[in-house]
Structure 1
Amino acid sequence: MSRSRPSGPISHSRLGSSMGVAGATMLVLALVAGCGGGGFESTDSSDPDSGSTGTVRMLVNITPNLTKSYWKGLVAPFEKANPGIKVQIDAPTSSDGGVDTTLPQLLAAGSPPDVVEGSHSVKVLPQLRDLSDLTWAASAPMADAQRRDGHLYDVAIGQQAQSLIFYNKTAFTKAGIDKPPATMQELTADMAKLKKAGYLPMQTAGEWVTQAQVMMLFDATLTADDADWFRKAADGKQSLSRDLGPSLALYKSWLDKGYLDKNALGVKYPEGESEFLSGTSALYPMGCWFVAAEAQAKKNFDVGVFAAPQLNSSNPPRLAVTPGANYRIFKASKHQSAAAKLVEFLTTDHAAVESQLKQDSSFRTGYPYQLSPLADEVQKLFDASKDNQAIVGSGEYQMPAGFEDAENKEIQSLYTGADPATALKNVDNWLKAQPK
Structure 2
Amino acid sequence: MRLTRTATAAITTALLAVPLAACGSGDSAKGASGTSGDSKNADANTTLTYWASNQGTSLANDKQILTPELAKFTSQTGIKVNVEVVPWSDLLNRILAATTSGKGPDVLNIGNTWSASLQATGALTQFDDATIQQVGGKDRFLAGSLSATGAEGKAPTAVPLYSLAYGLYYNKKQFAAAGISKPPATWDELVADGKKLTTAQHFALSLEAGSGTENIHNAFTLSQQHGGSFFDGSGKPTFDTPQNIAAIKQYVDLMQTDKIVSPSDAEYSNGTEALKDFATGKTSMVLWQAASGSLAQLGMKAADIGVAPLPLPATTPAGGKKVTSMVAGINLAVFDNTKHKDAALKFVKFMTSTPEQEQLNKTYGSLPSVSDAYSDPAFGTPAVQTFKDILSKSAAPLPAVAQESQFETLVGTAIKNMFADAASGKTVTEDTIKSQLAAAQQQIGG
Amino acid at match of 1:310: L
Amino acid at match of 1:249: K
Match of residue 51, structure 2, among 35, 60, 75: 60
Counterpart CA distance in 2 for 1:92 and 1:279 is: 27
Counterpart CA distance in 1 for 2:192 and 2:445 is: 42
Q: Deviations over 1:412-436 (max 9, x none)?
A: 3333323341233112331232147
Q: CA deviation at 1:72?
A: 4.4
Amino acid at match of 2:427: A
| Contact 1:323–1:394 under 8 Å retained in 2 | no
Q: CA deviation at 1:231?
A: 6.3
Counterpart CA distance in 2 for 1:201 and 1:192 is: 7
| Contact 1:56–1:115 under 8 Å retained in 2 | no
Q: Deviations over 1:247-272 (max 9, x none)?
A: 33334544324222245435666554
Counterpart CA distance in 1 for 2:95 and 2:150 is: 24
Q: CA deviation at 1:92?
A: 6.0
Q: CA deviation at 1:129?
A: 1.4
Counterpart CA distance in 1 for 2:127 and 2:414 is: 32
Pairing 1:383–2:388 present: yes
| Contact 2:2–2:164 under 8 Å retained in 1 | no
User: Which residue is 1:126 aligned to?
Assistant: 122
User: Which residue is 1:431 aligned to?
Assistant: 441
Q: Any residues of structure 2 matched to 1:92-171 within 5 Å, and which?
A: 98=91, 101=94, 104=97, 108=101, 111-118=103-110, 120=114, 122=117, 125-133=121-129, 134-135=132-133, 136=136, 138-139=138-139, 140-141=141-142, 142-148=145-151, 150-162=154-166, 164-171=167-174
User: Which residue is 1:328 aligned to?
Assistant: 333
Tell me: CA distance 1:104–1:52, structure 2 relative to 1, closer, same or farther (3 Å): farther
| Contact 2:294–2:365 under 8 Å retained in 1 | no
Range that drifts further, 418-427 or 311-320 = 311-320
Q: Any residues of structure 2 matched to 1:330-409 within 5 Å, and which?
A: 330-347=335-352, 349-364=353-368, 366=371, 367-368=373-374, 376-385=381-390, 386-392=392-398, 398-400=404-406, 402-403=409-410, 404-409=412-417
User: Which residue is 1:41 aligned to?
Assistant: none
How many equivalent pairs are there?
380
Q: CA deviation at 1:299?
A: 5.3
What is the TM-score normalised by the length of structure 2? 0.70
What is the TM-score normalised by the length of structure 1? 0.71
Gaps of 5+ in 2: 6-38
User: Which residue is 1:16 aligned to?
Assistant: none
User: Which residue is 1:13 aligned to?
Assistant: none
Please give the root-mean-square deviation of Cα atoms over the aligned residues, in Å.
4.1
Q: CA deviation at 1:302?
A: 0.9
Amino acid at match of 1:294: L
Counterpart CA distance in 2 for 1:99 and 1:359 is: 24
Counterpart CA distance in 2 for 1:75 and 1:237 is: 42
User: Which residue is 2:80 aligned to?
Assistant: 87
| Identity rate, percent | 17
Tell me: CA distance 1:317–1:400, structure 2 relative to 1, closer, same or farther (3 Å): same
Amino acid at match of 2:79: K
| Contact 2:210–2:265 under 8 Å retained in 1 | no
Q: Deviations over 1:125-167 (max 9, x none)?
A: 32211112224564534222321362311111231213x2211
Counterpart CA distance in 2 for 1:240 and 1:377 is: 39
| Contact 1:322–1:392 under 8 Å retained in 2 | no
| Contact 1:166–1:304 under 8 Å retained in 2 | yes
Q: CA deviation at 1:363?
A: 0.9
Q: CA deviation at 1:390?
A: 1.3
Matched position secondary structure for 1:323: strand
Amino acid at match of 2:246: P
Counterpart CA distance in 2 for 1:113 and 1:249 is: 39
Counterpart CA distance in 2 for 1:335 and 1:214 is: 35
Match of residue 307, structure 1, among 306, 309, 313: 309
Match of residue 175, structure 2, among 163, 172, 175: 172
| Contact 1:137–1:344 under 8 Å retained in 2 | no
Q: CA deviation at 1:322?
A: 1.6
Match of residue 190, structure 1, among 188, 193, 215: 193
| Contact 2:4–2:326 under 8 Å retained in 1 | no
Tell me: CA distance 1:118–1:360, structure 2 relative to 1, closer, same or farther (3 Å): farther
Tell me: CA distance 1:371–1:220, structure 2 relative to 1, closer, same or farther (3 Å): same
Counterpart CA distance in 1 for 2:439 and 2:276 is: 36
Amino acid at match of 1:276: F
User: Which residue is 2:257 aligned to?
Assistant: 256
| Contact 2:279–2:298 under 8 Å retained in 1 | yes
Tell me: CA distance 1:51–1:339, structure 2 relative to 1, closer, same or farther (3 Å): farther
Higher-helix-fraction structure: 2
User: Which residue is 1:74 aligned to?
Assistant: 69
Counterpart CA distance in 1 for 2:79 and 2:276 is: 40
Counterpart CA distance in 1 for 2:146 and 2:179 is: 44
Q: CA deviation at 1:351?
A: 0.4
Q: CA deviation at 1:93?
A: 8.8
Q: CA deviation at 1:381?
A: 1.2
Counterpart CA distance in 2 for 1:377 and 1:397 is: 37
Matched position secondary structure for 2:327: strand
Amino acid at match of 2:354: H
Amino acid at match of 1:145: A
